[in-house]
Amino acid sequence: MKYREDKDSLGIVAVPAEAYYGAQTERARQNTIDSGLRLPSAFMHTLALIKLFASQVNADLKLLDPDVAGAIGVSAREVMEGRMDSQFVVDLFQTGSGTSANMNMNEVIASRANELLTGKIGGKSPVHPNDHVNLGQSSNDVIPTALHISVLGAIEGELLPRLELLKGALTEKASVFKNIRKIGRTHLQDAVPMSLGNEFSGYARQAELSISRVQNASTNLRELALGGTAVGSGLNTLPEFAPAVIARINDYLKMDFVEAENRFEAQGARDAAVEMSGTLKSVAVSLTKIADDVRWLASGPRCGLGEIRLPNLQPGSSIMPGKVNPIIPEVVIQAAAQVIGNDTTITFAGQKGQFELNTMQPLIAYNLLQSIQILGESARVFAEKCIRGIEADEARCAGNLEKSLAMVTYLVPLLGYDRAAELSKRAHETGKTVREVVIEEGIITPEKFDDLIQR
């Protein structure tokens, strides 16, 4: 069968790349660029949480009609439950203060509140998005407040428990492997003996320190900018407003947020978010080291190190039958790379706090929450799908240990450095083990050598 020149073998008309990839051309020409990215639901639900308690406090302060406050509260709760997620259509790349997202929230809540009170969706009466839903607030203090709450909530609810899970799995393996001796490695070269348990205890400590670093970096996230309104001065809000709202948030979430010590700092800078991002980068680096080591230790199964065996999760090759790859460690490494990239973005965004407002807050929120999510999931999957199922190849560990030229290090106190180096060179040139060379030369008895290397 023969086809026209502009068709492929399936008879599909060829489309030039310019036309194929240019389908969004008209949309790209609009004033607003739609990237297809939205602020995370966790952030938007937190923003609704603030609106809920703001309406209650404003009612208590006699600034808001109780019926209006009640309708705002019901609407905000529906947002918090995820029932209105489809209504939040503002693109991630918006005004840097997050005003677009804040007004999207105000309008959705007001629209639903009006429906509850009048039976008609939308409008600005009896509930107005600015005068009522946004009462006592500004995007400039509400958005950074939502950022800190959602980030700290994700850290305490998602990331830390999963890092604890990983620490526990690594600690367990350190105990199980404590008596399995193997060769250590520095510079990717054979070093002196250690136990496989020693190696895993180092990984467990990395996980433990990661937890500690995240906890320490969380401290400054507890300060909230709420109450500063436009520039930090608190214009058009009462001094009682912010502490009352924060108290209700704490009661609801069982957390301990406080008013910012200085609202001008809290609105003009995003240093706490940058600090947390840098900490998450250090966690990512730590997980990369562990995952990479696991890949190396499991390399083979016959022509690599092969000192441990990973769980077989899926066929690892589309062309090589029976090949199984270290899937989960590679998942962890890729996720860590994303976190490191996110940190670069957040670092740049954190610099854009000219005068009284940072103008990259949506981008910071998106990347920071993503980093927390993927780090947490990476730690969980690493623990459950990989670490817990690792087995030691004791014979391989013992064999590598016996073959290593680094065993000559045990003879240095007895023979001196230079003489020990000569024996190592001779063993390497003859293909013999250090044990064989020193016994052949009558330097030490087999029993003495065995006793020596157990130290």
Stretch 303-321: mean pLDDT = 89
- Looking at the structure, do residues 156 and 97 belong to the same domain, yes or no? no
Same domain, 333 and 288: yes
Query: What confidence category does residue 2 fall into, taking pLDDT thresholds of 50, 70 and 90?
Result: very low
Mean pLDDT of 287-294: 98
Q: Is 262 exposed, middle or buried (0-12, 13-18, 19+ CB in 10 A)?
A: middle
Rg of the chain in Å (alpha carbons):
30
CATH code of the domain in which 408 resides? 1.10.40.30
For residue 15, is it within any domain? Answer: no
Residue that is last in its domain, among 366, 394, 422:
394
Total number of domains constituting the chain: 3
DSSP letters spanning 27-47: HHTSSS---S----HHHHHHH
Give CA angle at 362 (357, 364), nearest 5°. 85
Active site residue 277: no
- Residue 13 maps to a domain: no
Contact between residue 356 and residue 231 where contact means Cβ atoms under 8 Å apart: yes
- Predicted confidence at residue 313, as pLDDT, reads 86
| Whether 130 and 149 share a structural domain | no
Residue 239 lies in a domain: no
pTM of the model: 0.92
- Measured in degrees and rounded to the nearest 5, phi and psi for residue 192 equal -80, 160
What's the pLDDT at 20?
53
Whether the CB-CB separation of 257 and 46 falls below 8 Å is answered with: no
Out of 394, 418, 434, pick the residue that ends a domain: 394
How far apart CA 289 and CA 200 sit, in angstroms, is: 12
Residues 320 and 388 reside in one and the same domain:
yes
| Across 374-403, average pLDDT | 97
> Is position 130 within any domain?
yes
For residue 126, tell me if it sits in a domain.
Answer: yes
**pLDDT higher at 366 or 411:** 366
Among 135, 152, 172, identify where a domain stops. Answer: 135
- Which residue is catalytic, options 35, 175, 212, 317? 317
Residue 217: which H helix or E strand, with range? helix 196-217
Share of the chain above pLDDT 90, in %: 85
Asked, for residue 5, whether it belongs to a domain, the answer is no
* Section 19-48 average pLDDT: 77
Q: How far apart are CA 432 and CA 440, in angstroms?
A: 10
Q: Based on the domain organization, do 210 and 347 belong to the same domain?
A: yes
Q: What's residue 5's pLDDT? A: 47
* All residues at 6 or more sequence positions from 319 whose CB lies less than 8 Å from its CB, including other chains: none
Lowest mean pLDDT among 35-39, 187-191, 316-320, 437-441: 316-320
Which entry of 138, 187, 286, 404 is annotated as an active-site residue? 187
Lowest-pLDDT choice from 3-12, 165-174, 227-236, 304-313: 3-12
Same domain, 425 and 282: no
Averaged pLDDT for residues 404-420: 92
Least confident of 66-75, 365-374, 416-425: 416-425
pLDDT for 67 equals 98
- Give the C-alpha separation, 295 to 174, whole Å: 17
Is 178 domain-assigned?
A: yes
Q: Dihedral sign, CA of 89, 95, 96, 97?
A: negative
- Mark whether 77 and 218 lie in a shared domain: no
* pLDDT above 50: residue 202: yes
The reply to whether 289 falls in a domain is yes
Domain, as residue range, for 431: 404-452
In three-state secondary structure terms, 191 is: strand
- Answer whether residue 407 shows pLDDT above 60: yes
Instruction: Out of 98-107, 150-159, 248-257, 400-409, pick the least confident.
Output: 400-409
The verdict on 117 and 50 lying in the same domain is: yes
Same domain, 381 and 292: yes
Calpha distance 130→132 (Å, rounded): 6
Question: What is the distance between the alpha carbons of residues 384 and 377, in angstroms, rounded to a whole number?
Answer: 10
Residue 21: count other Cβ atoms within 10 Å of its Cβ.
10
pLDDT at res. 108: 98
Looking at the chain, the whole-number percentage of residues with pLDDT higher than 70 is: 93
More confident residue, 2 or 82: 82
Does residue 194 sit in the same domain as residue 285? yes
| Structure-token pair, residue 65 | 């009609």
- The rounded distance, in Å, linking the Cα atoms of 147 and 167 is 28
Instruction: Reply yes or no on whether 187 is catalytic.
Output: yes
Do 371 and 343 contact (CB within 8 A), yes or no? yes
**pLDDT value at residue 31:** 56
Lowest mean pLDDT, pick from 161-170, 175-184, 217-226, 420-429: 420-429
Q: Indicate whether 147 and 114 sit together in one domain.
A: no
Count of CB atoms within 10 A of residue 28's CB? 9
| pLDDT the model gives residue 19 | 63
Whether residue 431 sits in one domain with residue 335:
no
Task: Give the pLDDT confidence score for residue 1 in this predicted structure.
Answer: 39
Angstrom distance (rounded) from CA 220 to CA 273: 9
Beta bridge partners of 309: 391
* pLDDT confidence bin for 23, thresholds 50/70/90: low
